[in-house]
């Protein structure tokens, strides 16, 4: 479970938060026709994704019930 937690809390936000600004700095076009202004929103969106992921994770952990074996 710790691997999933780390993946959703750290890896995805870090990848998203660094990919878009890196494209901007390297002069590459963003995929899927995304506007260039999103480069400034990417770190904020990554932070928002991390916070939402953490809330969902905590909700799931609170509701978890083992099988009892």
- pLDDT score for 69: 65
pLDDT for residue 48 is more than 80: yes
Q: pLDDT category, 34, cuts 50, 70, 90?
A: confident
Distances (CA, A) of 24 to 18, 39, 48, 52: 10, 7, 21, 26
Answer for the pair 6, 35: CB distance below 8 angstroms, yes or no.
no
What's the rounded Cα separation, in Å, for the pair 15 and 11? 6
Q: What tens digit of pLDDT does each residue of 12-26 get?
A: 777 777 887 788 788
Q: What is the pTM of this model?
A: 0.50
């Amino acid at each position: 479970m710790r691997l999933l937690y780390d993946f959703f809390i750290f890896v995805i936000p870090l990848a998203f938060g660094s990919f878009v600004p890196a494209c901007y700095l390297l002069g590459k076009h963003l995929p899927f026709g995304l506007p260039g202004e999103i480069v400034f929103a990417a770190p904020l969106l990554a932070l928002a994704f991390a916070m939402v992921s953490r809330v969902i994770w905590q909700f799931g952990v609170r509701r978890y019930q083992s099988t009892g074996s």
